[in-house]
């Protein structure tokens, strides 16, 4: 018999994972939200009976696995409320889905619950796409208990993902990496879009024009890695092109100049690691970027 599941917080993450588990035969005992109407709607999406909708956190008491799918800044207080107001009728595991916090953020000294952090490395733009994308999704697991980690591995397998484990003191660094890879990629694309708009290209055309370039770049990285997948003027050592870029940003988009310079320095480092850039060109590029970064033109907007 598969363990019973209770969901606290039926947002995009909780609904997508709960639907995966329910579809795989895990019984749902309750879906809990501050709004019973929202909980009932989530039940309909997951596929379980709407009579399981609740606005009482104590209704998670009979579940063997409790999914605490609330925003990061609510995890600690929600876990505390659950553990101090609920009498658990069976040994249970409390799971949160934060990439930032370790499982121990849910710890309460008098609680019998085992604690697990399970973070799908996936942007949850909407719950249906998330439900589909969970297939083959990397999922970070973290717990101080080996048996709880084994349960986490089982859950990840059931939802179709691929697990990897983290030490508790590396969660923030891990989450930073995810933020840089996902959120900041969007920021870079928005910046490139704005430059194209500055060229006279219509706003609704800019992103579609950039996506084939971005997708081909991601394919290069997928198959070759960052160092060998890198293309462009820096890895070619084309100082003249980089200088022209800097000048046009000074003239036409000074708000993006600092970003270009800092990214240029990092790209020079990757180029050096690739073994495709000779020492003289590395030195020239580093000198150019450092000189421009320290110039008043690049820094005045960021004081």
> In whole angstroms, what is the distance from residue 118 CA to residue 141 CA?
5
Q: Mean pLDDT over all residues of the chain?
A: 96
Q: What is the pLDDT of residues 48-93, one digit of tens each?
A: 999 999 999 999 999 999 999 999 999 999 999 999 999 998 899 9
Query: How does DSSP assign 14-49, residue by residue?
Result: HHHHHHHHHHTTPPEEEEE-SSHHHHHHHHHHHTS-
| Mean pLDDT, residues 19-33 taken together | 98
What secondary structure letter does DSSP report for 294?
T
**Angle between helical axes of 239-252 and 257-274 (0-180°, round to 10):** 160
By C-alpha distance, which of 220, 233, 295 is closest to 263? 233
For residue 300, what pLDDT is reported? 47
| Mean pLDDT, residues 102-108 taken together | 98
Q: What are phi and psi of 5, to 5 degrees?
A: -120, 135
Contact 61, 85 (CB under 8 A): no
For residue 124, what pLDDT is reported? 86
Query: With bands split at pLDDT 50, 70 and 90, how would you rate the model's confidence at 125?
Result: confident
In the chain, domain spans: 5-166, 173-302
For residue 245, what pLDDT is reported? 98
| Mean pLDDT, residues 101-110 taken together | 96
Contact 271, 280 (CB under 8 A): no
| Mean pLDDT, residues 256-269 taken together | 98
Edge to edge, what strands does the sheet with 28-32 contain?
Answer: 53-54, 28-32, 5-8, 65-68, 93-96, 114-120, 138-142, 162-165
Query: With bands split at pLDDT 50, 70 and 90, how would you rate the model's confidence at 302?
Result: very low
CA distances from residue 269 to 41, 198, 237, 242, 257 in whole angstroms, order as listed: 51, 29, 12, 15, 19
| Mean pLDDT, residues 125-144 taken together | 95
Query: With bands split at pLDDT 50, 70 and 90, how would you rate the model's confidence at 299?
Result: low
Coil, strand or helix at 147: helix
> In whole angstroms, what is the distance from residue 290 CA to residue 288 CA?
6
Percentage of the residues of the chain whose pLDDT score is greater than 90 = 94
For residue 33, what pLDDT is reported? 98
> What is the pTM assigned to this prediction?
0.92
4 vs 110, more confident: 4
CATH topology for the 5-166 domain: Rossmann fold (3.40.50)
Residue 303 has pLDDT above 90, yes or no: no
């Amino acid at each position: 018999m598969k363990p019973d599941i209770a969901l606290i917080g039926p947002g995009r993450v909780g609904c997508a994972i709960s639907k995966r588990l329910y579809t795989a035969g895990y019984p749902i005992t309750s879906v809990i939200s501050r709004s019973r109407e929202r909980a009932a709607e989530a039940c309909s999406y997951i596929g379980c009976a709407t009579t399981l909708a609740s606005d009482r956190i104590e209704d998670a008491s009979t579940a063997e696995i409790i999914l605490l799918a609330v925003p990061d800044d609510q995890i600690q207080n929600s876990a505390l409320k659950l553990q101090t107001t609920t009498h658990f009728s069976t040994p249970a595991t409390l799971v949160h889905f934060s990439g930032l916090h370790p499982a121990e953020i849910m710890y309460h000294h008098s609680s019998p619950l085992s604690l697990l952090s399970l973070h799908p490395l996936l942007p949850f733009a909407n719950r249906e796409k998330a439900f589909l994308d969970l297939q083959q999704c990397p999922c970070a697991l973290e717990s101080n208990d080996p048996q709880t980690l084994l349960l986490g591995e089982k859950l990840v397998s059931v939802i179709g993902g691929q697990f990897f484990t983290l030490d508790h003191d590396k969660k923030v660094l891990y989450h930073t990496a995810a933020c840089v890879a996902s959120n900041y990629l969007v920021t870079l694309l928005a910046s490139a879009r704005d430059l194209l708009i500055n060229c006279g290209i219509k706003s609704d055309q800019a992103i579609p024009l950039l996506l084939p370039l971005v997708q081909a770049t991601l394919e290069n990285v997928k198959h070759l890695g960052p160092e060998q997948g890198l293309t462009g003027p820096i890895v070619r050592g084309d100082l003249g092109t980089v200088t022209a870029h800097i000048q046009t940003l000074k003239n036409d988009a000074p708000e993006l100049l600092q970003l270009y310079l800092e990214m240029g320095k990092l790209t020079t480092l990757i180029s050096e690691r690739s073994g495709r850039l000779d020492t003289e060109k590395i030195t020239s590029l580093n000198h150019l970027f450092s000189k421009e970064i320290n110039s008043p033109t690049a820094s005045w907007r960021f004081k």
